[in-house]
Amino acid sequence: MPTIATSLPELRNEISFFIGHGRDYDKADAVQKRDIDLSLETGLLWFYTCFSSTKGRHVWSFLQKEWIVDIVADDRIIALPDDFSALAGEITFDYQSDDHSLGVVDEGAMRSLYSKRHKTGTPQYASIRGRTPSEGNRSRYEMLLYPIPDAAKTLRLRYQVEPKSLSDDNPTPLGGSLHSITVLEACLAAAEKRMDPESSPGYHMQLFTQALESSIDADRALQRANEGEGAVWDDALLERNTLEVTKGYLKAKIGDALGYGPNPSAWNHGQLTEVTEALRSGLRYFYNPPILPEDTTPHAWSFLTPVAKLNIGNSVSRYDLPDDFSMLEGGFTYDSVTSNFFPPIVVMGEEDIRYRLQRDEVTYRPAWAAIRVKKTPETVGTRWEVEFYPAPSEDYTLKYRYRFNPLQLKDDAALPMGGQPHAQTVLEACLFAAQGAHSKGEGSEQKFMNCLRQSVGHDRAAACPDNLGYSFDSTASGDAMNSLYDYDLSVVTHKQGLF
């Protein structure tokens, strides 16, 4: 097919004419042909490596290929294509796979992984190394996988091509007619430099520099057109009809803030790990907020303090508290259905309970309690228990309010605690955590603190009662307390005073 791209014969003839041997390469002698071919090879090398003093290093789109390979179980070494030069993107699984792309590590790290344990599963890491022995004068490469595959998978990767030398069988430089002038000026600039190595940049070097910048602009525009502008968002996130934030939404926003894009399927294992850690750190910032400048203590969220029940009896004084227990809020009260107006159980120091038990182990209705830490294995974490005195002489149902430690969000549809009023604060906390990892997004700390201040104000208003209730002697007997029903509802409020 006819083309206006510069070919090998034309390049040779132009170089021959420039250095004074006439415009016919075939009539040149062996020494002259050697000078011409060396200028040609140098010029092509300058063009392919593509470095501009104003635009920096650029990787040509026409020097990149996509390669698809099927891997099988137990095959940890994959031979890469013969023209492979370097990776030009992520190593991903097939489009239909839910697996994330692979993190690329050096060969030393890969050897360390192999030496520590022989693990099989879905590959998470890859390493590129030269194949030994080399075949001919061209380098060959292979890819190592870890964990060692335990099932057949399809991998996709983009790589940078190592261009072949021009020959009668391969007469046209890569890049096509769009860059033919740049190729020609690169070769003439190389010949110009060979003729006078000590001279300042000559006429053709200046032309090559200008043409190279134009070629880079054209190639970058082509890459943007092929790849598309903007981020790719999951349709499920865009179609949500609620203002609450899910784990999937938070991950997408964190990934976009870190420069990885919002689509988790495009992240490699290392990027997924960073996003996940930023999410965890952000949730910790939100659930355990820092002290606001105008406060003296950190705020305690009301939505992290549920009311729970505890059944006691059978002369047993010690009971495990929930695994997510963090601290007691208030005290233990008896369930009104079975215990009428028994006064609340007084929470005291654990040493005081031990002193009372040492003095007299009796069974009766518990009047005192102490919270203490249980001794547990390191893999279990901190657990708490409560001990009552006296030990219960019969069955009772107690109610208590406690602060709990939230668990991490399990799946992408999971919602953080707090609900819609605190959704923006959760998001800003996660972006602030991501900033700490990559120093991106100036002002994220201030945005988080501003949102936190609003959330704290909302939570205090939502959790604060309209009145403080009736003031009575909680140690009074049940009969005396029955007289409460004879009083009116005149109470002291924290907003309006006496009414």
DSSP letter string, 445-461: HHHHHHHHHHHHHHHHH
Grade residue 189 by pLDDT with cuts at 50, 70 and 90. very high
Q: Percentage of residues in the chain with pLDDT exceeding 90?
A: 58
The answer to whether residue 432 scores a pLDDT higher than 90 is yes
Lowest mean pLDDT among 85-94, 325-334, 452-461: 85-94
Number of Cβ atoms within 10 Å of the Cβ of 315: 13
Lowest mean pLDDT among 103-117, 159-173, 178-192: 103-117
Lowest mean pLDDT among 118-122, 266-270, 356-360: 266-270
List the alpha helices (DSSP H) in 22-118.
Answer: 30-49, 107-116
The answer to whether residue 490 scores a pLDDT higher than 60 is no
Lowest mean pLDDT among 80-89, 173-182, 256-265, 281-290: 256-265
Report the alpha-carbon distance of residue 118 to residue 113 in Å, rounded.
8
Report the alpha-carbon distance of residue 160 to residue 81 in Å, rounded.
11
Task: Output 261 or 490, whichever has higher pLDDT.
Answer: 261
Residue 341 and residue 370 in one domain: yes
Residue 281 and residue 143 in one domain: no
Grade residue 240 by pLDDT with cuts at 50, 70 and 90. low
Residue 141 and residue 47 in one domain: no
Residue 144 and residue 128 in one domain: yes
The answer to whether residue 221 scores a pLDDT higher than 80 is yes
Residue 83 and residue 151 in one domain: yes
Residue 260 and residue 198 in one domain: no
Distance of CA 309 to the CA centre of its chain: 39
pLDDT at 182: 95
**74 within some domain:** yes
The answer to whether residue 287 scores a pLDDT higher than 80 is yes
Q: Which residue do the tokens 């983009």 mark?
A: 158
pLDDT at 489: 43
pLDDT tens per residue, range 22-76: 999 999 999 999 999 999 999 999 999 999 888 888 889 999 999 999 999 999 9
**161, 191, 208: which is the final residue of a domain?**
161
Residue 180 and residue 47 in one domain: yes
Residue 316 and residue 393 in one domain: yes
**456 within some domain:** yes
Residue 157 and residue 190 in one domain: no
Output the DSSP codes for 342-370: PPPBEE--HHHHHHHHHH---EES--EEE
C-beta of residue 398 within 8 angstroms of C-beta of residue 307: no
Lowest mean pLDDT among 181-190, 256-265, 323-332: 256-265
The answer to whether residue 496 scores a pLDDT higher than 50 is no
**75 within some domain:** yes
pLDDT tens per residue, range 467-485: 666 665 555 554 444 444 4
Number of H helices and number of E strands within the chain?
A: 13, 22
**Number of domains observed in the structure of the chain:** 4
pLDDT at 133: 60
The answer to whether residue 249 scores a pLDDT higher than 80 is yes
Grade residue 435 by pLDDT with cuts at 50, 70 and 90. confident
Lowest mean pLDDT among 77-81, 172-176, 227-231, 381-385: 227-231
Selection from 77, 81, 50 nearest residue 162 by Cα: 81
Grade residue 378 by pLDDT with cuts at 50, 70 and 90. confident
Q: Give the long-range contacts of residues 286-293, CB within 8 A, separation 24 or more.
A: 286/416, 286/418, 286/422, 286/425, 286/426, 286/429, 286/452, 287/406, 287/417, 289/452, 289/456, 290/449, 290/452, 292/449, 292/452, 292/453, 292/456
C-beta of residue 394 within 8 angstroms of C-beta of residue 366: no
Lowest mean pLDDT among 152-161, 194-203, 378-387, 488-497: 488-497
**227, 251, 270: which is the final residue of a domain?**
227
The answer to whether residue 212 scores a pLDDT higher than 90 is yes
Report the alpha-carbon distance of residue 40 to residue 183 in Å, rounded.
9
Residue 294 and residue 322 in one domain: no
**388 within some domain:** yes
**In which domain, by residue range, is 246 found?**
235-298+417-463
**227, 256, 271: which is the final residue of a domain?**
227
Task: Output 1 or 380, whichever has higher pLDDT.
Answer: 380
Lowest mean pLDDT among 117-121, 160-164, 166-170: 117-121
Grade residue 491 by pLDDT with cuts at 50, 70 and 90. very low
**473 within some domain:** no
**411 within some domain:** no
The answer to whether residue 94 scores a pLDDT higher than 50 is yes
Residue 325 and residue 182 in one domain: no
pLDDT at 155: 92
C-beta of residue 284 within 8 angstroms of C-beta of residue 250: no
* Sign of the C-alpha dihedral computed for residues 472, 317, 300 and 336 taken in this order: negative
**329 within some domain:** yes
pLDDT at 193: 92
Residue 496 burial (CB < 10 Å; 0-12/13-18/19+)?
exposed
Selection from 152, 141, 155 nearest residue 102 by Cα: 155
pLDDT at 183: 95
The answer to whether residue 135 scores a pLDDT higher than 70 is no
Q: Average model confidence (pLDDT) for the chain?
A: 85
Residue 332 and residue 351 in one domain: yes
**84 within some domain:** yes
What residues contact residue 481 under an 8 Å CB cut-off, 6+ apart?
341, 472
